Amino acid sequence: MSVALKSWRANEGPKHLIMMFWIAVNVFLFWRTFMMYFSGAQYYYLHKMLGCPTGKNETFGVHLRVLGDWTCAIMEMDILSTCIFSNLIGSSAFLSRPRVHVDGPFGSPSEEVFNYEVSLCVAGGIGVTPFACVLQALFDDWRQYKLRRLYFVWVCRDLQSFYWFADLLCGLRERLWRDNRPDYLNVQLYLSNTRGLQSIGEERYRFLSSRLRIGRPKWKLLFQEIGRANQLKRVGVFCCGPKGISKALHTLCNSNPHTGTAFEYNKETFI
């Protein structure tokens, strides 16, 4: 018996020890990931930023720009008419709701917006989608985050695009004013299509109308302005938009001549 035990230790013991160590590491990683998504920072990203179902909210929204064969085909599917009809009349036992499978969760650079005291979010057209989630999270409770100032720049070709999240932007601005933090949110809207005079005329969107500019942003001047107002601080720069905008912002972040302010570039995937 003693000889057999010694032989097993010599031949099989190291293998079993390695296996036990490997299992322990995987259990630890699984538990850490579970706790992050259950109650940590990732929980707030999944449930508040992405709008995934929670105890208070059992639904989430999906924003699609209908442009091209794929999105046009989705709009023609029966699933959308069923969802719209069921939302109009309310929950009903007579309606069979479609089952939708969603891949994920996947990480996103926009998670890091809240890890800076100052962040700059730049969106081009439909690229505003991840930042709309950021705005919604701040609207729910901006105090719980490290973020203390947000610069939000949105560039669109047509005026109607700004109405996608006009209510959210105006609602967040009103909440910050009530909380005596009018300097928390800096909004700049740019209409790149200069043909014809266009403006946001609705009274309830007066805040956005005052922030609307015709033309394209002057990125260098914007960085200089942010640098002067936030000297010796780290500024997170987040972009979701065309390659031209992304490249310009990345270059400015790397040049870093802005009064000691460090601009750190983060890029969202834009297709």
Find the range with the poorest average confidence among 62-71, 94-103, 184-193, 256-265.
94-103
Q: Of 83, 106, 129, which closes a domain?
A: 106
Which of 72-86, 134-148, 202-216 reaches the highest mean pLDDT?
134-148
Do both 122 and 61 map to the same domain? Answer: no
CATH of the domain at 183: 3.40.50.80
Residues 83 and 133 in one domain: no
189 in a domain, yes or no? yes
Strand pairing partners for 190? 155, 213
Q: Which residue segment(s) compose the domain that 17 sits in?
A: 2-31
Total domains in the chain come to 3
Same domain as 147, residue 50: no
Which tens digit of pLDDT belongs to each residue from 31-42? Answer: 555 554 444 444
**How far apart, in whole angstroms, are the C-alpha atoms of residue 129 and residue 116?**
20
* Confidence class for position 265, pLDDT limits 50, 70, 90: very high
pLDDT at position 101? 74
pLDDT at 188 over 90: yes
Whether 144 shows a pLDDT value over 70: the answer reads: yes
- Asked whether residue 129 falls in the same domain as residue 253, the answer is yes
Quick one: 189 and 262 in the same domain?
Answer: yes
Per-residue model confidence (pLDDT) at position 271? 52
More confident residue, 182 or 76: 182
User: What span, in angstroms and rounded, lies between the C-alpha atoms of 66 and 222?
Assistant: 31
Residue 181's φ and ψ, nearest 5 degrees, are -130, 60
Q: Is residue 37 part of a domain?
A: no
Q: Which of these three, 55, 82, 106, is where a domain ends? A: 106
* C-beta contacts of 156-161 below 8 A and 24+ residues apart: 156/124, 156/125, 156/189, 156/190, 156/191, 156/192, 157/125, 157/191, 157/192, 157/193, 158/191, 158/193, 159/191, 159/198, 159/199, 159/200, 161/125, 161/126
| 70 and 172 both lie in a single domain | no
Mean pLDDT of the chain: 76
Do 145 and 249 reside in the same domain of the chain? yes
134 lies in some domain: yes
Question: According to the model, what pLDDT value does residue 96 have?
Answer: 60
| pTM to 2 decimal places | 0.69
